Amino acid sequence: MRCWYGIGLVLAMAVAPAAAFAQPDLYELGSVRELRLYFNVANWRRALDSLYLLGEDERLIGDLVIDGTLLPDVGVRYKGYSSWANGRAKNPFNIKLDEVHSGQDYQGFEKIKLSNVIQDPSFLREVMAYEVARNYMHASRANYADLYVNDTLVGLYTSVEDVGKDFLKEQFGEKDGSFFKGNPPTVDLTGENCNLGDSPGLDSTAYYDIYDIQSDHGWGHLVELIDVLNNTPENIEQVLNVDRTLWMHAFNYALINFDSYVGYAQNYYIYRDENGQWNPILWDLNMSFASFRLTDASTYWNGFSINQAMTIDPLSHYSGPSVFPRPLLRNLFNNAMYRRMYIAHLRTIITEQFGDQAFRERALERQALIDAHVQADTNKFYTYQSFLDNLDQSVSYTVAYPGLTQLMDGRVAYLSTYPGFTGQPVIGEVAHAPMDIALGGLLTITAPITDADTVLLACRFGTSGLFQRVAMVDDGQHGDGAAGDGIYGAQLTATSNHVEYYLYAENVTAGAFAPARAAHETYEIQTRLAPGTVVINELMAGNQGRVQDPTGASSDWIELYNAGTFTISTAGLYLTDNVADPTRWALPDRTLDPGEYMVIWADDRTSVGDDHANFKLDATGETIQLAYDADAVLDRVTFGEQFPIYTSGRIPNGTGSFQRLTPTVGGYNRVEFGTEPERVFQLYPNPATTELNAIVDLPGSFEVQVFRSDGRAVTGVQQYTDRHLVQLSTVGLAAGHYVMQVRTADSVMSQPFILLP
C-alpha cells in the first residue's frame, strides 16, 4: 500500500531542500526537533494501523519536514510491541527517508525512530539512559522531537538513532558482519526467547523463528556463538567481546533496565565484527529505571516491587537460580575474573553517574527543556503533574513508576556495600617509555599499584584487532624499577605507530581498571610516521566510468599504500590538493598492515562516507600531498594532464616514479598495455554514441582524421602538438563502422570504431 501526497507550492516555498543549509544536529540534546509529516490520506491513523497489523514492511508514503528541511516521499510505519495499540492517538513511528528516493538522508541518517514515551511519566528514562550508556559502550544517540501530522500536533516523542548499517559503520568501522536483533516475534512469558540458549539444538533453521536477522548472512555464526557459550564457555573470548557484554550487564543492573536480555531475553542487537567476535548493543530503553518489573528471570521471576528493585543482586544469575535460562549471564559469571571485572564496571557506572547530584542536575536540565512541549502534548499517557513528580518520586497508574532519583539513591546505597564494590587495588599514574614509539623497538608500560594479586596489560597495535593480555610484574626486570617497589611493568615490541592499552588489577575481593571506562576508553600512544612509510601510490583524475566507487559513482580517487614493514595507523594524517592548506581533509583513522592499500574517493562528497575527501582532482594536473602538517610531509606528488581511462601510479609498486597505468585500484601496480601502437593511441568508448575520445601519446605534432570503412573522409584534418586528449563529437555522423587515423611525419596509425545509433 503506497499513497502519494504532494505538499504543494506554498509549503514547498516555505521549506528548504534536504541539506540545503546548516541545521542543528538531529540528535543534539539542547533543543527539541520539529518533525512534520504530510499524508493525503484522510484517516492516516487507520492506514498505519492496517499496515502494522499486516506485519509486512509496507509503508505509507508522505512528505517529511525536519526543522524546515523537506524530505519528499518518505515511507512511514508504526513500530513497537507493547507501545503500539490499534486506534491509539499516539503510536511510535518508523520513518524511512530513502523509501522512494535512493540515497535520500538527513545528516547521513536514512531512518528515524520515534518512541511515544509510554511507560514513562517522567519523559526522561529513554533519553537519559542512552546518555549514560554512551559513556561505556556503543549505544544510540537520543533526544526529543515534536511530531505533527498534517500540521496537527500528535505529541512529544523521543527520537532514537537507528541501529542499522550506518550505526555499525560509525561504531565499528565496518558494517558487513553477521547482525541480529534479539526480538522474538511473540514474547513467551515463561520461555527462553532470545536468550542465546541451545535448547533448540545446533541446526540453524531451528532459530529462524526466534532471532531477527538483519544481515545477508550469519546463521552459522550465530549457532557457533550459541554452541561455545553453552558448551565450551572457557573458549568464549574467541567468539564474544566479553568486555562489552559485561558492560551491557552492568548497565542493565545499575539502571534496572530489565525489559532487556535480563527480563524476557529481548531488546538487544548483536553484531559480529571483523575480528570474529560478537558485540551486544542495547536497544529500547523506554522502560529503564525500573519501569519494567515483571521478571528478572531469577529470584524475582514473577515480578518485583520498587523497594526490591533498589536491592536486586547484580549477580542473581550466579548466586541465585535462573528460573528462565540466561547463559549470557550465568556462564560468564561462573568465571571469577569476569565477575570481578563486571562488578568493577558496575562500580564505575554507579560512582560516575549517580554518586553525586550530577545526574539530577542533568535530569532537571532535560525536564526544563521539554516542559512546555509536555504541556502541549494532549495525547500523552500521563498528567503534567506526574511528569514533574516522577523525577524524584513514584507515581501510580496501572503500575507504580519509581522516581528516577528515588530509585538510584536506593540503588547507590545498596551497591555501595555490595561485596567487591570496595577493596579493589589502587592503580596510580600510568606511564610509557619511550614517549615516541620506535617501530620494532621496545615499549615499556608501568604503573604504581597497591593491593593487587594479579595485574594485566591489555594492548593492541592500531585501532582495530583484538586486545592481547600480558602480565605486568614487579620483579625489577620489566622496566618496573626495583623488585618489590610497588611499580608494575610490562615490555613488548612496538609493531605499530599507534597503540591502545588499558590495565586491569585484581585481588581476591575486587578488580579495577585504568582507565575506569576501559575498554570503551583506553590509553593511546600515537607516533608520527617517517616519510616513505605510507605513500601516495596511484591516482585517477577525470574518471569517466572506468572505476566506480561503492555508490556506483565515477569518482576520482587516490590510493595510499603501506610501504613499510610494520602495521601503521592513519590517525592524524591529512590529504590536500593545495600545499598552502596542508590539513584540508583529515584521513579516517584506519589501520594498514604492511603491503595494505587504502583508497580515498576525491569527489567532494563527504556525506557519503568517511573515505570521501572534500576536494576533487584536477585532470589538467596539480599537486597532492600527504602530511601531518606543513612541517611533517610524508609524500607529495605533482602530476600533469590525465587521461580518463588511465591512472598515474608508482612503478615499481610503492617505491618507483609515477607512470601511466591501466587502473589497479586497491591492488599492485603493473604496466598492462598491449603493443606500442595501442599504448600511444587509444580510443574509448568503443562502440561510441554521442562522443568519442582518443588518447594520443606522441611527442611533436600530429594530425587526426576520421574515415568511413570504405575509405571516405568524414572529418577534416585536425592538427595537434604533443600528447593530447582528442574529443570527437559524433553529431551528424550516421551509425556504422569508422576508422580514426593518426599521422606523423614518419608514421600512420589507425584504430577502427563503431558508432551506435
Same domain as 140, residue 65: yes
Give the three-class secondary structure for 427. strand
For the segment 309-321, what is each residue's pLDDT rounded down to a tens digit? 999 999 999 999 9
Same domain as 551, residue 511: no
Residue 640 belongs to some domain of the structure: yes
State how beta strands 212-213 and 69-78 pair. unpaired
For the segment 137-176, what is each residue's pLDDT rounded down to a tens digit? 999 999 999 999 999 999 999 999 999 999 999 999 889 9
Same domain as 197, residue 243: yes
Q: What's the rounded mean pLDDT across residues 74-97?
A: 95
CATH number at residue 708: 2.60.40.3080
Q: pLDDT at position 324, please?
A: 96
Instruction: Tell me how far apart the alpha carbons of residues 101 and 109 are, in angstroms, rounded to a whole number.
Output: 14
- Report the candidate in 622, 670, 675 with the shortest Cα–Cα distance to residue 646: 670
For the segment 114-148, what is each residue's pLDDT rounded down to a tens digit? 999 999 999 999 999 999 999 999 999 999 999 99
Residue 573 belongs to some domain of the structure: yes
For the segment 36-80, what is each residue's pLDDT rounded down to a tens digit? 999 999 899 999 999 999 988 899 999 999 999 999 999 999 998
Q: Are 727 and 644 in contact (CB under 8 A)?
A: no
Instruction: Tell me how far apart the alpha carbons of residues 581 and 624 are, in angstroms, rounded to a whole number.
Output: 11
Residues 6+ apart with CB under 8 A from 55: none
Instruction: Tell me how far apart the alpha carbons of residues 379 and 79 are, in angstroms, rounded to a whole number.
Output: 17
Q: pLDDT at position 8, please?
A: 37
Residue 524 belongs to some domain of the structure: no
Domain boundary among 127, 145, 165: 165
Residue 713 belongs to some domain of the structure: yes
For the entire predicted model, the pTM comes to 0.85
Q: pLDDT at position 164, please?
A: 95
Same domain as 400, residue 251: yes
Same domain as 108, residue 39: yes
Instruction: Tell me how far apart the alpha carbons of residues 587 and 602 are, in angstroms, rounded to a whole number.
Output: 12
Same domain as 278, residue 195: yes
Give the three-class secondary structure for 47. helix
Q: pLDDT at position 616, please?
A: 95
Same domain as 546, residue 486: no
Domain boundary among 165, 189, 211: 165
Same domain as 145, residue 283: no
For the segment 629-661, what is each residue's pLDDT rounded down to a tens digit? 999 999 999 999 888 778 999 999 999 999 888
Which structural domain, as residue segments, surrounds residue 588? 534-661
Q: pLDDT at position 676, please?
A: 53
Cα angle 349, 355, 357 (rounded to 5 degrees) comes to 120
Residue 511 belongs to some domain of the structure: yes
Instruction: Tell me how far apart the alpha carbons of residues 414 and 306 are, in angstroms, rounded to a whole number.
Output: 13
User: How far from chain centre, in Å, is Cα 499?
Assistant: 21
Residue 194 belongs to some domain of the structure: yes
How many structural domains does the chain have? 5
Domain boundary among 607, 633, 661: 661
For the segment 178-192, what is each residue's pLDDT rounded down to a tens digit? 999 999 999 999 889
The DSSP annotation for 468-510 comes to EEEE-B-SSSSSSSSTTSSEEEEEEE--BSEEEEEEEEE-SS-
For 40, other C-beta atoms within 10 Å of its C-beta total 14
CATH number at residue 584: 2.60.40
Residue 1 belongs to some domain of the structure: no
Q: Are 634 and 535 in contact (CB under 8 A)?
A: yes
Q: What is the mean pLDDT of the chain?
A: 92
Q: pLDDT at position 672, please?
A: 62
Residues 6+ apart with CB under 8 A from 417: none
Residue 150 belongs to some domain of the structure: yes
Question: What is the signed CA dihedral for 331, 335, 336, 337, rounded to 10 degrees?
Answer: -120
Q: What's the rounded mean pLDDT across residues 187-216?
A: 95
Instruction: Tell me how far apart the alpha carbons of residues 584 and 600 are, in angstroms, rounded to a whole number.
Output: 14
For 226, other C-beta atoms within 10 Å of its C-beta total 24
Same domain as 407, residue 272: yes
Same domain as 725, residue 642: no
Same domain as 725, residue 699: yes
Q: What's the rounded mean pLDDT across residues 242-268?
A: 98
CATH number at residue 489: 2.60.40.10
Which grid coordinates belong to 350? 554507579
Q: pLDDT at position 731, please?
A: 82
* Res 2 pLDDT > 50: no
Same domain as 316, residue 192: yes
- Report the candidate in 137, 118, 221, 142 with the shortest Cα–Cα distance to residue 179: 221
* Res 96 pLDDT > 60: yes
